[in-house]
Amino acid sequence: MLIIRPQFRHYGVAVGTVILALLLTWLLHMLVDAPLFALFYAAVAVSAWHGGLGPGLLATGLSILSINYFFSEPLYSLALGNLDSSVRLGTFVIVTLIISSLNAQLRTAKARTEVSLLKLQVSEERYRRLIDTAYEGIWTTNAEGRINYVNQRMAQMLGYSVEEILDRFIFEFMDEEMRREKVTNFQQHQLGIKGQFDCRYRRQDGSDLWTIASTNPILDQQGKFCGAIAMITDISDRHQVTEELRESEARFRQMADTAPVLIWMSGVDKLCTYFNKSWLDFTGRTIEHELGNGWSEGVHPDDLQYCLDIYTTAFDARQDFKMEYRLRRFDGEYRWVFDTGIPRFTPDSRFLGYIGSCIDITDVYDELRLRKQAEEQIVKLNQSLNRRIKEVETLLEVIPIGIGIAEDAQCHHIRVNPALAHQLKIPSHVNASLSAPDPEKPQHFKVYARGRELAVDELPMQYVAAHGVPILDLEEELVFDNGETIQLLVSAAPLFDEQGQSRGCVAAFLDITERKQAELRIRQLNESLEQRVKERTLQLEEANQELESFSYSVSHDLRAPLRHISGFVDLLHKRIGTTLDETSLRYLNIITQTTKQAGTLIDNLLEFSRMGRTQLHYTTINMTYLVWEVQQDLALESKGRMIQWHIEELPQVKGDPFMLRLALRNLIENAIKYTQTRPKAEIAIGSCQTEAEILFFVRDNGIGFDMQYAHKLFGVFHRLHSTEQFEGTGIGLANVRRIIHRHGGRTWAEGVVDRGATFFFSLPKGE
């Protein structure tokens, strides 16, 4: 089969069309005298249109040869003729060249268009196959929102066929809620705005299709909106996972917020991103205050650096950590918390941060601290107990009192210390129980009490252990086989187990043999002494009677001369008083005053003497009332003077009211006497108490005294001032001391010259 190449065919067409044009022109020339070249233009145009520039040029050349040879003068010659023929041929050449060139360009453009169209068809086919096989759903809409294209994937996603979807409004595949929301998106497309958003479509079976829709508006050449194209990605699985994650997170937050522990979370930057409700309730702060590093404001300043160091070190190493620190509660109190943190990772081991929890361990911490202190105390107590045991063991070794210990209720075995072993004349390691089996029990002594031998069950330790009651100060006598006897004072107490049952006893044996012998000798001495005391008492009573008789005799004998002197002085004063000069009168007055002082002195001496012999009559005395009585008795002496009294409420005492009244009178009388030089006298009377006695004082702002003479104040006839300055006999304070001493009390005085004095006396509490 003959195959003609396309380029040869194009040139053949050029030759054929020129031959055809030549023949037709020849025929027309025969009919019309003037030659017509239009057919040759057509031959060139057809050749150039069919074959391009080359065949067109060939047709042009053949046409020029044919015209010049067959139709131009000279005919049948290729030589150029006249000018008119040359112009026509030139015009023909120009026109045919233009025609060939234009046809060639048109043909080239057509070929290119065909190639482009072919490529476009191939591209469209490839794009269509790509769209139809794409994982994402794709559809396009017109300007009204009707779907004019949808790929197979989108149809599958919605559960429809492609035909069922085409030409339907896109909003028909949404529920009412989503339709209202997406109308806004479509309006944005009409404005030429791209968009990407989550969208929920309704499948044919009524289920929801969750997608991410990426949309672009389609604009015409004038920029007018003519539709939209959307790429739909099915995220139903991811949405379900997201919903489950959201539900899980909600459950976590609900669980965390209701958990009784403080929960926190931090990100990869070490900053805290979450605190549960328990944390916020505990600290009393808002989540905004706690986020980041705000939580550290609640940590005790002494614990903050320690806390941050542990957190940072563990964070950098991606390791768990545990720590204890003090966190400020909403009421300002710092509470001990135990904080545990663990790192968080994704399934592909990507680090997310930390999650931790805190529990308030203040009570536990205090309990542990107390337990630790208790353990330390127990150790100390054990050490102390061991020391005490050693001390007791040492004490039992050296104490001169016999100690016996039985550790069974029948006292079958009794341990003794060296002192009791010595008393019983047995080694200290030997069983000392008389209720022990015969081979063990001692056989060389017997026990007596109240003159008879005690049976085994009557022995002190056996009785106490059996009955569970103590005995105290039981005297027993040990009689040894050699006739020696010793007397013991026994005290025993039972020992009880945890159930309160007797498990033995402990007893102390004091050797009172020498004491009994001493008591016997003392009784004998007491009997002898009592007899001598009776005899001495009789002698003292006789002496006191003689002394009292002597005192009255002396008083009478001394008073008689004084009365004579005083009487004769009065007679002289009456007889010659008017004739005596001033000096003689002064002498008589001195004699009178001296005799009066001597009488007063004799009275005071008798009173002082009686103070030591008079029997005391004890009764309860109201000291405040007693002071008031004395104050009334001395009112005459203080008449006309300005005296400020400070008298406290005084306690009641036991004593002889007559004697104590006399003592108070002497003290208060002295205070009045020795403040007479003061324009305003101040006298204070008060008291205070100690554990054993009651102290009374009389204080004045009088002339006072020098403390170096204080020891002389309470002596008989000791005076610090002359009778010319202050009258007196020097016996008053001696009487005070004797009265107070007989009551079992003390007397003393304190003073400063010209600044007053204070006189104290004490009385014992009780009788």
Q: What is the mean pLDDT of each run of 10 residues along the chain (767 residues)?
A: 56 76 71 64 73 74 71 66 65 72 72 72 62 72 85 85 86 82 71 76 86 83 82 78 70 71 90 90 91 91 93 92 92 91 89 90 79 82 83 80 88 88 86 85 88 87 89 88 88 89 89 85 85 75 58 54 64 70 71 61 56 72 91 81 91 89 87 87 92 92 84 64 54 81 89 90 81
Question: Which position has the token pair 């107070």?
Answer: 740
Q: Where are the alpha helices (DSSP H) in 71-82?
A: none
* Helix, strand, coil abundance in the chain, percent, nearest 5: 50, 25, 25
> C-alpha distances in angstroms, 578 versus 188, 564, 585?
156, 22, 9
Contact call for residues 668 and 759 (beta carbons, < 8 A): no
Q: What is the pLDDT of residue 1?
A: 40
DSSP line for 689-756: E-SSEEEEEEEE-SS---GGGGGGTTSTT--SS-TTTS---S-HHHHHHHHHHHTT--EEEEEETTTE
Q: How far apart are CA 664 and CA 633, in angstroms?
A: 11
DSSP state of 496: E
CA angle 30, 33, 34 (to 5 degrees): 115
* Helix, strand or coil, per DSSP, at residue 451: coil
For residue 291, give Cα distances in angstroms to 301, 337, 353.
19, 19, 14
| Contact call for residues 656 and 725 (beta carbons, < 8 A) | no
Q: Which amino acid, 591?
A: I
> What is the reported pLDDT for 599?
58
What CA–CA distance (Å, rounded) separates 416 from 432?
Answer: 7
Distance linking the first and last C-alpha atoms of the chain: 169
Determine the Cα–Cα distance for residues 181 and 201; give it in Å rounded to an integer.
12
The pLDDT of residue 2: 42
**Which two three-digit tokens encode residue 369?**
């601290």
Q: Please give the CATH number for the structural domain made up of 616-764.
A: 3.30.565.10
Domain 512-613 coded CATH 1.10.287: yes
CATH of domain 257-360: 3.30.450.20
Indicate the DSSP class of residue 553.
Answer: H
Q: In what order do the strands lie in the sheet with 452-453?
A: 414-416, 402-406, 502-511, 485-496, 471-480, 445-449, 452-453
What is the β-pairing status of strands 137-142 and 225-234?
antiparallel
Q: Report the interhelical angle of 38-51 vs 83-133 (nearest 10°).
A: 30
Residue with tokens 């337990």: 371
Instruction: Give domain 399-506's CATH architecture.
Output: 2-Layer Sandwich (3.30)
> What pLDDT does residue 4 have?
45
For domain 135-234, say whether CATH 3.40.50.10490 is its number. no
CB 43 within 8 A of CB 18: yes
Nearest-5° Cα angle at 755, 750 to 756: 50
Residues paired with 727 in a beta bridge? none
Structure tokens at 550: 């002597």
Tell me which H or E stretch contains 226.
strand 225-234
| Mean pLDDT, all residues of the chain | 80
Q: Do domains 135-234 and 257-360 have the same CATH topology?
A: yes
Residue 556 CA to residue 599 CA, distance in Å, equals 11
* Residue 8, Ramachandran bin (φ over 0: left; ψ between -120 and 50: alpha; else beta): alpha
Q: How do beta strands 334-345 and 471-480 pair? A: unpaired
Residue 192's contacts (CB-CB under 8 Å, 6 or more residues apart) are 217, 219, 223, 225
CB proximity list for 126: less than 8 A, separation 6 or greater? none
Sequence-distant (6+) residues with CB within 8 A of 609 are 547, 551
Q: For residues 98 and 545, give the distance between their C-alpha atoms in angstroms, rounded to a whole number.
A: 193
Structural domain boundaries in the chain = 6-111, 135-234, 257-360, 399-506, 512-613, 616-764
58 touches 11 (CB < 8 A): yes
Bridge partners for 196 per DSSP: 214
- List helix spans (H) across 357-501: 362-398, 418-424, 460-467
Return the pLDDT at 3: 42
Going by their DSSP bridges, the two strands 445-449 and 402-406 should be labelled as unpaired
